[in-house]
Amino acid sequence: MRYERPKVGEGKKKTVTSMFGGTMDLPVFDYPITVKENFYRNARREDPLWIPVPAAEVQELHMFNLYDKCPPGCQLGPNLRAEQDRYVYHDAWGNSWTFDRFAGGACMTIGTRICDDILKWEEQIKFPDLHEYNLDEYAAKYMASTYDPERVLALDIYHGPFQSLADFLGGFAEALEAMFVEPEACAAFFERFADWMIWLIDKLSGLYPADLFVIHDDWGTEKDAFFSPAMMEELLYDPTKRIIDHVNGLGKLYTFHCCGKVDRFLPWFCDLKPAFMQLQRRVNDVPAYKREFGDRLGFNAGLEDYVPGKPYSEEEIAAIVGNSLELLGAGGGYLPMVYGAPDTVWKIAAEIYCCSREMFEKG
């Protein structure tokens, strides 16, 4: 059947807050099953009834959202809602970061290096228990005043094993040198880091009814991977799999954010079993990956040929959404990223829901 696309601002709607702090109204539909049930069915490629729209159906908490107390000058991650154009902060590990609002994130402050020798990692890298950050009290307030049980709750807890090694040693080049020169020490660090990440996941799972965990571990540049599949398999596969298996074992979902041209790792990504891969589209042919690996991997990806901020007619939005669903949505396993002006996001959200309902009903 044909589903009527609601005009901007008309019909049922919900006011949502983006990760950057702005609010917008998005359409709400008479869903045949709950948003959460459909989200899990889509993630597991088990006959979803529509493709979810995260802007409307997912509430995100990043590390900067998870506390209201911390040591002076410290925070758990980049504050994407910061009003300052540029500022420096320290994380719970002791790393110094410089946030740039125009870049939309933070990079390590030049000269930062909390571990100067991978052979000394046990002595120099202190794993935080985060007690100074008031996680428990903040979570209680959030659950009482802000949590929306009708939406999926996603926790973005930032860097995984490899990227954290780069953070601690002062950069990617230093991390790669350590992996080549002292693989046994790096392997030991990665396993200890996986232990800590599993502790953090359990800690946060006890405070929030999280549905999805997002972890960032960039394994490449835009030219190619940082390391070979053999090195990845030797050093990073097992600790990464332990983290993902733990999330899956809790009945929750995992998004693996991995920047760079990382196509050589796709068979291993399938074995790791994240719900979604979040990849750089401009250097990864995600539609081709969907065709080859879509029965084993889901993709959290943008709309094909969509440029945020560019004006589009309703007909153009319908064509962009229809093409994206055809290329990436078959059988589920597609979580579209949608950004733009509030009216544009409304139109895209309405088109994704209605078009995907029609697509899945046709079979």
Q: Mean of the pLDDT values across residues 243-259?
A: 98
Give pLDDT, residue 18. Answer: 83
pLDDT at 83 over 90: no
Helix or strand or coil: residue 269?
A: helix
pLDDT digits (tens, 9 = 90+) for 180-237: 999 999 999 999 999 999 999 999 999 999 999 999 999 999 999 999 999 999 999 9
pLDDT at 318 over 90: yes
pLDDT at 22 over 90: no
CA distances for 52 relative to 41, 74, 166, 334, angstroms: 10, 35, 34, 8
DSSP 8-state symbol, 3 = P
Confidence of residue 104 (pLDDT cuts 50, 70, 90): confident
Which residue do the tokens 């996603």 mark? 154
Q: Mean of the pLDDT values across residues 83-91?
A: 92
Q: Angle 183-207/161-169 helices, nearest 10 degrees?
A: 110
User: pTM to 2 decimals?
Assistant: 0.97
Which residue do the tokens 């088109």 mark? 351
pLDDT digits (tens, 9 = 90+) for 128-154: 999 999 999 999 999 999 999 999 999
Tokens for 268, please give them: 């291993």
The DSSP code sequence of 139-161 is HHHHHHHT--TTSEEEEEEEE-H
Q: Mean of the pLDDT values across residues 343-358?
A: 98
Give pLDDT, residue 21. Answer: 81
pLDDT at 343 over 90: yes
Q: Mean of the pLDDT values across residues 279-298?
A: 98
CATH 1.20.1630.10 fits 13-362, yes or no: no
Q: Which residues, in sequence order, are bridge partners of residue 86?
A: 100
pLDDT digits (tens, 9 = 90+) for 105-131: 899 999 999 999 999 999 999 999 999
CA distance 262 to 266: 7
Give pLDDT, residue 30. Answer: 95
